[in-house]
Amino acid sequence: MKLFSILVGLLFSTAALAQLPNANTLKATINGEEFKSQPRRIRIGAYWWITANTNKPDQSLRIWLGSYDHTDGIEPGTYLVVDADKADSKANKAKVQAGSGYKGLAVIKYVKETREPRMEYHVGKSQNNDETVVVKKNADGSLEATFSGVLAGSYWKEKSSSTVFGGMGRLMNKMEDKVITKTTGFDSSIDPEGNGYKQQSKKDSLVLTNGTFHLPLPSKQ
């Protein structure tokens, strides 16, 4: 009963954020299944982070875009998709310097809950496969992008110690995070890495095709 009351309170407290207008769209096909959502956009350092989420099951598709000249905004052009774990390597940066034809670097990451409540995950990360994200600016100032690629897949399972010692508190945190993700559009603690999960030995590939996103931008951008 206490957990229910907490979740209800959290739902009402975040409902206002969920009502914020969002004309953004993102679509993609991942391993033959359609992914469609209204993405959110934030800036972290030199990178723009576009995050799109769905629930039942929880899924998150994120794209980072960073220009080589640290331009303040998402600029039209071709971004080179690189290894998600080594995006800022000297070799990758050298590939997108002035005159290379690339506007900057891009990283793609996909996370899918495979056992509720956030007990197990399937994660996909971009690699150095010479793939690209192509961004174009429309007459109204909005941005359109296309992308595709093959992501390196891995599987994650909650550690027994995390389940046992986390107890009801960890379960409550998971449920709260799921509510926040659903109501605000921003993923909350959906990434298993570093959060009490263990990577399993199984690996595979996730094929991402027909990826597109549309971002209406403020006039100053």
Cα separation, 105 vs 75, whole angstroms: 12
The sign one gets for the Cα dihedral 92, 213, 192, 34 is negative
The answer to whether 38 and 204 are in contact (CB under 8 A) is no
Q: What is the pTM of this model?
A: 0.80
Cβ within 8 Å of residue 16, ≥6 positions away: none
Closest by Cα among 212, 214, 203, 191 to 29: 212
Q: List % helix, strand, coil for the chain (3-state, nearest 5).
A: 20, 45, 35
DSSP alpha helix (H) spans, 134-207: 160-184
DSSP alpha helix (H) spans, 19-60: none
Q: For residue 54, give both structure tokens.
A: 């769905």
pLDDT at site 118: 76
Question: Where are the domains positioned within the chain?
Answer: 23-211
Distances (CA, A) of 4 to 34, 37, 52: 32, 27, 27
pLDDT at site 182: 62
Per-residue pLDDT of the chain (221 residues), as tens digits, is 444 444 444 344 444 444 445 689 999 999 999 999 999 887 776 678 898 998 889 899 999 998 877 666 788 999 999 999 999 899 998 999 878 899 999 999 999 999 988 789 999 999 999 999 999 999 998 999 999 999 999 999 988 665 544 545 545 665 666 665 666 556 656 788 877 889 999 999 999 999 999 988 765 55
| Residue 101: exposure state from Cβ atoms within 10 A (0-12, 13-18, ≥19) | exposed
pLDDT at site 178: 61
Cα separation, 66 vs 46, whole angstroms: 6
Cβ within 8 Å of residue 208, ≥6 positions away: 28, 29, 30, 108, 110, 124, 147, 148, 149, 150, 151
